[in-house]
């Protein structure tokens, strides 16, 4: 009994970093996955239906027929309208009821509508602005390198069981690579190299620049830069959930970005877009690198799921951080601020908050 009493204060409930940023863009699906049939997508727990209008442009509505609450995603597209599978009501892109089959008189459309969401299609992805019935305040993130023909670009969709924050931090976290991905990416060596890190945070993004880092040891480093050398390395996070890792060495350039879509509080989809220009041709490298990348992701996914599970079992998070948790706390802060209120436009010029630190890699 006594030991139980001593345990209780340890199990205090922390809060969980489930930030719900709704006035921004998230990837619903890949362009090529959206054909003639409507698709169901869930973002931050919100059920949505995505479909293509007659001109091919994507559209999104709340996935609930206003008549009897059947999911509209089981319906079909009729010209510019979405037709419900149950009684055939037809809705337009704004979510207004346009056709009620069998109704003899004219129907009063006013008030009979469902929430509608702005859509964009770019870089092979379909984006949804998560605040309904509103003009977007900004444009979706642009995967600039994927548009450059001199780069090889690979796409991969992945699912992590973890919050958006935990998943984003994991993608940009350096210290875990020597342990969780031992040998694949970095090694835990007795002799570590001292490097400087410059962290800059703007209102909508954070960037960590690792200065003077030697090519990562381990298999991936050897493939990317067989002759070794000093790499330029940046890790970045952009609101509401873009992670980016950039490596440059001589003429080689490797830039892996992922758009994170929070499906629910503890499920996050990653739409990874990896672009690179290397001495070895891309088509030779991709079949070799993909299984390694998937193996690395499998190790991350396993640890994220266990992290989420532990957070749930303890009823909340309790983090202890140090300087080498370079961007995690900044990501959390950006998400919390964005959740609370409106943001400046992405293009706005401002001096970043800057911090310099030293770490051993
Ligand atoms: S439930 Fe959709 S038309 Fe009746
Ligand atoms: Fe990892």
Confidence of residue 344 (pLDDT cuts 50, 70, 90): confident
Return the ligand number nearest the Cα of 91: 1
Whether the per-residue pLDDT at 15 is higher than 70: the answer is: no
Ligand 2 centroid to 262 CA: how many Å?
19
In a 13 Å sphere around the CA of 27, the CA atoms on its Cβ side amount to: 28
pLDDT of 347 reads: 66
pLDDT of 11 reads: 46
Residues with CB under 5 A from ligand 2 (ion): 300
Give yes or no for residue 86 CB within 6 A of ligand 1.
Answer: yes
Ligand 2 centroid to 236 CA: how many Å?
15
Least confident of 99-108, 149-158, 257-266: 99-108
Residue nearest to atom 1 of ligand 1 (CA): 68
Confidence of residue 2 (pLDDT cuts 50, 70, 90): very low
Residue nearest to atom 3 of ligand 1 (CA): 87
Pairwise pLDDT comparison (165 vs 286), residue with the higher score: 165
List for the chain the helix, strand, coil content (%; round to 5).
25, 35, 45
Give yes or no for residue 74 CB within 6 A of ligand 1.
Answer: no
pLDDT of 212 reads: 85
pLDDT of 222 reads: 75
Least confident of 102-106, 219-223, 318-322, 327-331: 219-223
Give yes or no for residue 89 CB within 6 A of ligand 1.
Answer: yes
Confidence of residue 334 (pLDDT cuts 50, 70, 90): very high
- In the predicted model, what is the mean pLDDT of the chain? 89
Whether the per-residue pLDDT at 152 is higher than 70: the answer is: yes
The set of long-range contacts for 65-70, using a CB threshold of 8 Å and a minimum separation of 24, is: 65/89, 65/114, 66/91, 66/97, 66/112, 66/113, 66/114
Return the ligand number nearest the Cα of 298: 2
DSSP state of 67: T
Atom in ligand 1 nearest the alpha carbon of residue 85: 2
Tens of pLDDT, residue by residue over 16-46, are 667 899 999 999 999 999 999 999 999 999 9
CA–CA gap between residue 119 and residue 248 (Å, rounded): 34
Residue nearest to atom 4 of ligand 1 (CA): 87
Tens of pLDDT, residue by residue over 285-327, are 888 888 989 999 999 999 999 999 999 999 888 899 999 999 9
Whether the per-residue pLDDT at 190 is higher than 90: the answer is: no
Confidence of residue 227 (pLDDT cuts 50, 70, 90): confident
pLDDT of 285 reads: 85
Pairwise pLDDT comparison (342 vs 269), residue with the higher score: 269
In a 13 Å sphere around the CA of 139, the CA atoms on its Cβ side amount to: 7
Is residue 261 within 8 Å of 26, Cβ to Cβ? yes
Pairwise pLDDT comparison (289 vs 136), residue with the higher score: 136
Atom in ligand 1 nearest the alpha carbon of residue 89: 3
Return the ligand number nearest the Cα of 82: 1
């Amino acid at each position: 009994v006594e030991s139980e009493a001593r345990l209780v204060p340890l199990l205090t409930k922390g809060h969980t970093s489930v930030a719900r940023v709704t006035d921004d863009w998230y990837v619903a699906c890949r362009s090529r996955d959206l054909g003639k049939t409507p698709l169901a997508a869930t973002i931050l727990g919100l059920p949505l239906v995505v479909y293509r209008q007659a001109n091919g442009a994507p559209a999104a509505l709340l996935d609930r027929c206003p008549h009897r609450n059947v999911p509209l995603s089981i319906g079909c597209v009729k010209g510019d309208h979405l037709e419900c599978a149950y009684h055939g009501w037809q809705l337009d892109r704004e979510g207004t009821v346009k056709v009620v089959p069998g109704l003899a008189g004219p129907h009063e459309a006013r008030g009979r509508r469902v929430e509608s969401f702005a859509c964009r299609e770019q870089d092979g992805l379909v984006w949804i602005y998560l605040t309904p019935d509103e003009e977007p305040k900004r444009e979706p993130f642009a995967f600039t390198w994927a548009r450059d023909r001199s780069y090889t670009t690979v796409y991969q969709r992945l699912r992590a069981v973890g919050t958006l924050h935990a998943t984003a931090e994991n993608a940009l976290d350096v210290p875990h690579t020597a342990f969780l991905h031992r040998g694949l990416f970095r090694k835990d060596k007795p002799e570590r190299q001292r490097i400087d890190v410059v962290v800059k945070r703007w209102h909508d993004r954070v960037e960590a620049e690792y200065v003077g880092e030697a090519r990562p040891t381990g298999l991936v480093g050897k493939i990317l830069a067989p002759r070794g050398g000093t790499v330029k390395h940046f890790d970045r996070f952009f609101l509401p959930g873009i992670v980016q890792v950039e490596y440059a060495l001589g003429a080689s350039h490797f830039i892996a970005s992922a758009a994170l879509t929070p499906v629910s509080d503890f499920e996050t989809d990653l739409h990874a877009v990896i672009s690179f220009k290397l001495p070895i041709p891309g088509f030779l490298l991709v079949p070799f690198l993909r299984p390694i990348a998937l193996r690395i992701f499998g190790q991350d996914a396993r640890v994220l799921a266990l992290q989420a599970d532990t957070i749930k079992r303890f009823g909340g998070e309790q983090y202890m951080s140090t300087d080498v948790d370079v961007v995690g706390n900044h990501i959390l802060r950006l998400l919390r601020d964005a959740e609370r209120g409106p943001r400046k436009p992405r293009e706005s010029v401002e001096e970043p908050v800057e911090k310099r630190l030293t770490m051993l890699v």
